[in-house]
Amino acid sequence: MEVIKTDIDGVVIIEPRLFRDERGYFFESFSQRDFQEKVCNTRFVQDNESMSTYGVLRGLHFQKPPHAQSKLVRVIRGAVLDVAVDIRRGSPTFGRHVAVELSGENHRQLFIPRGFAHGFSVLTDEVIFQYKCDNFYAPQSEGALAWDDPDLGIDWRIPAERILLSEKDRHHDRLRDAGWLFDYHEKLY
């Protein structure tokens, strides 16, 4: 696997090594050993999958300590714009984001460390989205930010009138009004 650094330390793109022949292709989608050596010393405990249609926007979500989560995300079918926002107060990149197109065609994965909010928008008719988490889901630790916070300046690549949100995702605070955020100096691993 190739690890590609982004503009924000810790958020990385992972490109697997694809082996193609007349039958199709094969690739190793995850190796705990390689991941720990090249990306982050964490262990994933839960795998999730969602199916969504064009215009769905999920996010921007995170979990607070002691249930903070890292995520390793990928798309099986279709394409999304995947976004990680640095929400660690005191970080040199606080409030900045990384946006990467993930698709069933490019096989890229994005690693979102603890201390980041995460979301994605669906760019194709249908998407199958999978992700690994290094901590179990804990509803009492849920946190989220407004997807349309103008201070974040995220271009979700979908017209605003076509965006489909859950009821919960319609009512999150902007980053500047968030009651709880991570501390850059707090040890999260």
Q: Which residues are catalytic?
A: 61, 131
Sorted by sequence, the CB contacts under 8 Å of residue 31 that are 6+ apart come out as: 1
Q: How far is the C-alpha of 50 from the C-alpha of 130, rounded, in Å? A: 7
Task: Supply the DSSP string of 101-130, one letter for each residue.
Answer: EEETTT--EEEE-TTEEEEEEE-SSEEEEE
Q: How far is the C-alpha of 76 from the C-alpha of 105, rounded, in Å? A: 8
Tokens linked to 27: 């690739």
Query: Does residue 27 contact residue 107 with C-beta atoms inside 8 Å?
Result: yes
